[in-house]
Amino acid sequence: MSLPHAILTALLEKPSSGLELTRRFDKSIGYFWSATHQQIYRELGKLETEGFIRTLPSEQPARGQKKSYEVLPAGRAELARWTAASQDPRPHRDTLLLRMRAAAVVGTEGIEADLRRHLDLHRRQLAEYEEIQKRDFPPGRDSSQDRLRHLVLRAGIDLETFWTQWLTRALEEFAELPGHEGA
């Protein structure tokens, strides 16, 4: 049920057309809650049917024009209800960790190269997050909204830092395995 709430959040930040929303989503919320453009458009229709959002009036005929949406009071109330509700953490599911466990049973062929690939991807993502932090959160930008948004970004930075450290350690372990070329 989180995608509708992600969309409500984005629309409260700035009323948008579906296309603008999907573009903004890809550059912000999409870093930690992904959705396809089709899913977003489908949810926009549902949110409008439920009375949480409405299409903004257009000065031109609607046929062929992009629709812009805004959140209605019922949508804001739903988002506030959802935000305040208690939720338990979800168990972490990661295929790479499962593949590592399987490698202990069937052998490590191919997995070391994929660990290196993952390390490169996480390093790039970490660099991107750090660039966003530098650009969007300079010293002195400390409104409540900025501080909360920065906390979300810091979670991404901390997670990418964890993965780069863990993958580095995993590759060091691989180098010490009996029969490994570097051992």
3-state secondary structure (DSSP) of residue 60: coil
Residue 126's pLDDT is: 97
Domain residue spans of the chain: 2-84, 95-176
* For residue 8, pLDDT beyond 60: yes
pTM here is: 0.81
Residue 36's pLDDT is: 87
Residue 45's pLDDT is: 94
State pLDDT tens for residues 120-171.
999 999 999 999 999 999 988 889 999 999 999 999 999 999 999 999 999 9
At residue 156, what is the residue type?
Answer: G
DSSP per residue over 6-31, as a string? HHHHHHHHS-EEHHHHHHHHHHTGGG
Residue 69's pLDDT is: 94
Burial tier of 149 (Cβ tally within 10 Å: 0-12, 13-18, 19+):
middle
* For residue 1, pLDDT beyond 60: no
Residue 35's pLDDT is: 85
State pLDDT tens for residues 13-67.
999 988 888 888 888 888 888 888 899 999 999 999 999 999 988 766 556 667 8
CATH 1.10.10.10 given to domain 2-84 = yes
Helices (H), the chain: 2-13, 18-27, 37-49, 73-84, 95-106, 111-136, 144-176
Handedness of CA 142, 148, 150, 155 (dihedral sign): positive
